[in-house]
Structure 1
Amino acid sequence: MKAILVDDEPNARSLLRNLINDHCKGIEIIEEAPDVKTAVKLLNKHAIDIVFLDIEMPNENGFALFDYFENPTFETIFCTAYSEYAIKAFEVSAADYLLKPISISKLQLAVEKAIKQQGQNQILQKINLLKENITVNQLQKIALPQADGLTFLKIEDILYFEADGSYTHVITNTEKYLISKKIKEFDELLQGDSRFFRVHRSYLVNIQMILKYNKKEGSTLLFENGKVIPVAREKKSEFDEFISRISV
């Protein structure tokens, strides 16, 4: 697979080139670019499979690259030194990224994932979702991996996440998605998001979607779809304190 490196720092490009050459068999680096405009010329000149793209660059940031292509056919792996929140934005947007300084194992995983995703034609959707999530202080949408690609879902539409072994059911009022991720992964992604609370080892709920909190005969939550979810005994006091912040 043919690749280009896009980064305004020569040392960063040199380091990444060496890591790829030493640890990613089957990846051939064709060219390097110090900015977006040079990268666009290279992409128009060569049939490129993967772009390793820095985000914070002078003049135009990495996202500007996608303004030049109506239907990009290349996979993108972002190389970034962004904050913890921004990393969550990458993850819920299903965008491949490498956090600087780059580790060999994560580089190899990102390359493997990019190879598998080739031809899914959802690159612009992922990039637009990433830009939307990364420019606000609260995640807006999540990309859910499905057998045939990705489903893009507004986070505010989610009623709750329900654990099912190594899988998780993502429930809305109209749909139910089975995702090959443990509920712990969704819990970690949404840590610090005041809309969600892990009320039980099997349930992560959107508190804005609760119809009724019943404290009699055990603590339970009623949702718009009729589902009754228990609040675990060890979570009750913490949940009561959490709810009190939004009570009138």
Structure 2
Amino acid sequence: MLRTVIVEDEWLSLNMIKRYIEEHPKYELIGAYSDPFEALKDISRLQVDVLFTDIGMPGLNGLQLAERAKQDSMQIVFTTAHREYAADAFRVDAVDYLLKPVTRRSIDEIAAKLERIKRLLAIEASNFKAPVMNVQCFGSFQTTNKDGQIVKWPTKKTEEMFAYFIANEGQIVNKWIIADTLWPEMDGSRAVHNVYNTIYRLKKTFEEFSLPLSIKTMNEGYVLEAEGAIVVDLYDFQELSGQKDLTAGQLQLLQNLYSGYLFQDKDYPWCINLRENLEVAHLIKQQQVSFSAGTAGMT
């Protein structure tokens, strides 16, 4: 979860953002302040993942607070009623800024981005030591732990459910949707019973192979959360393929990641659309690699 602090001198805005954060499953509220000086004093002793702070505050504005409170692992999200503050926000390495009034939707939409950056920061903080687990989704689907041991799943459906959570990174998936997706031939109650049993098997497998993963129950659904440095080729591919301007080296890395179709050795009907979209992205980037190589040959 994202350990979160809010700083907002307007009580109405503070309470509204506080409520959205408290009700969201991906955030853990560890501090809410109307006084930026009080926040600055406490932030130094807190392990903060995300700081949501207003910009226009008397005495110590949000930009000054961010500069003085910045920690290597802390992400800054500014909240402001003034769009013109955007350039200033990014000069202090802000992840993003939200225009007021801040909505529940905007808090939700930024969560996946914050989680992704947190994961990357965790990898950097480990000085590029070997990750504690590796998930290969392209070509042969395979998961290994920190010792390089291949994870043996107790059943095919346990492995498929894990693949399904990986493909739905950071999303809360309703138990009925899981039931209908993985056991479409069964009636609702029997299928949901299988969901409960398979979730249990997943958790036991995580423990058996010391995988830094947990499955959290959220209302009527579940979400898979990473609790350590993991490498997933699917996530790295999506991150790179979503960027417009890539270096020749990044383009080649993208091609190396794509070692075959998504879950190529598995017959998962639910991943067909995602598989096709990734194949299209791969072909587009492959053309860029060919063009880059051709251009380099002419120089």
Task: Specify if TM > 0.5.
Answer: no
Q: TM-score, normalised by structure 2?
A: 0.38
Higher relative contact order (CA 8 A, sep 6+): 2
Normalised by the size of structure 1, how large is the TM-score?
Answer: 0.45
Higher fraction of strand: 1
